[in-house]
């Protein structure tokens, strides 16, 4: 396996006596778009800030391009960062914002002009170069922040929740723009977000973090299809995966998961797990479908038509489950009907450890 471009080895971070990163090992290949995702307080921003050199390393190693950078000053790490608040210099024009870093590095004037021109054309900032940040819209500021990072021509781009201050529509647009930018420049990128949709749509490599640990690393769909544990299963996907505790039991047709209320949930023959084991049965909303010929009795509690898909909440043997159907749903809340589960898409987790079986 090739040497990773950004590598973390048993990286730890403590504030005061409180350890908030408990030994992170991670390798990000050159040119990858890696997304660190997790709930707030999971340590993803701290990891990013340590990469940038804004927080020091308590123990362990950070390597960038094969060089250990623990004691390298932030400005010499070859990184550029886009902040959540953009952190534009409010008293400088867009052009000065973009050239400040180059001026601080005593870059020749001609080179500065060239780089700004290039960044401005990539990000369509040309007409705004003389304006102050306060005269720009949220999306424009976002682009200036990216432009500022771009002019530095860094080896690694760092993004700290860059889209969270934008409204929903703009967020979708900028998502596509950042992704397109990466496909054009192929610069290694580390992107922090708490939004799992951003992680799924943008990443080559998703890193799910929780409580200062990495829970799972992989391609977005690989993680989506095979979450390593209950946390990842629940965190990725919207609406979230349905999780129903039960015990593996032997049925006439093979093994099933029997819930406390006596419900029998189907398993495919190849499924891991032994009879009598306590498990959590996971099924994504799109793999649990309303089906008049189905064998699971349900009672609908909420029907939310969202246009091209319909979200349904239903009571399945005492558990509220979520379903997503791309068909229109004729039934209403309160109706009783039946559903089927696509057993090949069922996930099994050990009830004690939470790990995938």
Distance CA 345, CA 330 (A): 25
Q: Considering the rule CB under 8 A, would residue 278 count as an interface residue with another protein?
A: no
**Binding of residue 61 to another protein (CB under 8 A):** no
Tell me the per-residue interface mask from 119 to 158 with another protein, x by CB under 8 A, - otherwise. -----------------------------x---x------
**Shortest reach from residue 137's CB to another protein, in Å:** 19
Say how far apart CA 350 and CA 248 lie, in whole Å: 11
Q: Could you tell me which of 253, 255, 296 has the C-alpha nearest to residue 276?
A: 255
Residue showing tokens 């979450």 = 227
Nearer to another protein, 74 or 351 (CB): 74
Residue 148 vs 194, nearer CB to another protein: 148
Query: Given the complex with another protein, which of 191 and 231 has the nearer CB atom?
Result: 191
Q: Are strands 319-325 and 310-316 parallel, antiparallel or unpaired?
A: antiparallel
Binding of residue 54 to another protein (CB under 8 A): yes
- Alpha helices (H) in 226-274, listed in sequence order: 230-235
Instruction: Work out how close the CB of 150 gets to another protein at its nearest, in angstroms, rounded to a whole number.
Output: 13
Question: Residue 198: which of 218, 182, 178, 213 has the closest Cα?
Answer: 178
Question: Can you read off the two tokens belonging to residue 245?
Answer: 């505790």
Binding mask 228-257 for another protein (x = CB under 8 A): ------------------------------
Q: Which long-range contacts (CB under 8 A, 24 or more apart) does 119-124 make?
A: 119/147, 119/150, 119/151, 120/147, 122/147, 122/150, 122/181, 122/184, 123/147, 123/150, 123/181
Q: Which is nearer to another protein, 148 or 210 (CB)?
A: 148
CB of 26 to another protein, least distance (A): 19
Min dist. Cβ of residue 92 to another protein (A) = 8
> What are 20's two structure tokens?
């908030």
Phi then psi for residue 118, to 5 deg, are -65, -50
Site string for another protein, 86-105 (x = CB under 8 A): -xxxxx--------xx--xx
Stretch that binds another protein, among 54-62, 120-128, 179-187, 335-343 (CB under 8 A): 54-62
Site size for another protein, by CB under 8 A? 29
For another protein, the binding residues (CB under 8 A) are 15-16, 49-50, 52-56, 73-75, 79-81, 83-85, 87-91, 100-101, 104-105, 148, 152
């Amino acid at each position: 396996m090739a040497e990773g471009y950004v590598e973390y080895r048993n990286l730890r971070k403590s504030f005061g006596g409180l350890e908030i990163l408990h030994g992170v090992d991670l390798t990000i290949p050159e040119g990858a778009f890696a997304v660190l995702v997790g709930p707030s307080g999971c340590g993803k921003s701290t990891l990013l800030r340590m990469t940038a050199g804004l927080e020091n390393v308590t123990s362990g190693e950070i390597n960038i391009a094969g060089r250990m950078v623990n004691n390298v000053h932030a400005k010499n790490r070859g990184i550029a960062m886009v902040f959540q608040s953009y952190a534009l210099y409010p008293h400088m024009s867009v052009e000065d914002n973009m050239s400040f870093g180059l001026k601080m590095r005593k870059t020749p004037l001609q080179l500065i002009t060239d780089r700004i021109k290039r960044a401005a054309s990539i990000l369509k900032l040309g007409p705004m170069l003389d304006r102050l940040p306060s005269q720009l819209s949220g999306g424009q500021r976002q682009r200036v922040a990216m432009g500022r990072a771009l002019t530095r021509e860094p080896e690694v781009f760092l993004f700290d929740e860059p889209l969270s201050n934008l409204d929903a529509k703009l967020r979708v647009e900028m998502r596509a723009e950042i992704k397109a930018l990466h496909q054009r420049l192929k610069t290694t990128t580390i992107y922090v977000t708490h939004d799992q949709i951003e992680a799924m749509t943008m990443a080559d490599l998703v890193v799910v973090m929780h409580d200062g640990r990495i829970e799972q690393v992989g391609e977005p769909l690989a993680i989506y299809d095979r979450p390593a544990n209950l946390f990842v299963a629940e965190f990725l996907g919207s609406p979230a995966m349905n999780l129903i505790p039960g015990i593996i039991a032997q049925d006439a047709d093979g093994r099933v998961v029997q819930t406390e209320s006596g419900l029998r949930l189907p398993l495919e023959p190849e499924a891991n797990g032994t009879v009598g084991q306590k498990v959590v049965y996971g099924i994504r909303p799109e793999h649990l479908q309303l089906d008049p010929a189905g064998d699971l009795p349900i009672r609908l509690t909420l029907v939310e038509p969202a246009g091209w898909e319909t979200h349904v909440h239903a009571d399945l043997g005492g558990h509220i489950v979520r379903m997503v159907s791309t068909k229109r749903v004729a039934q209403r809340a309160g109706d009783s009907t039946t559903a089927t589960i696509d057993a090949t898409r069922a996930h099994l987790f050990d009830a004690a450890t939470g790990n995938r079986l």
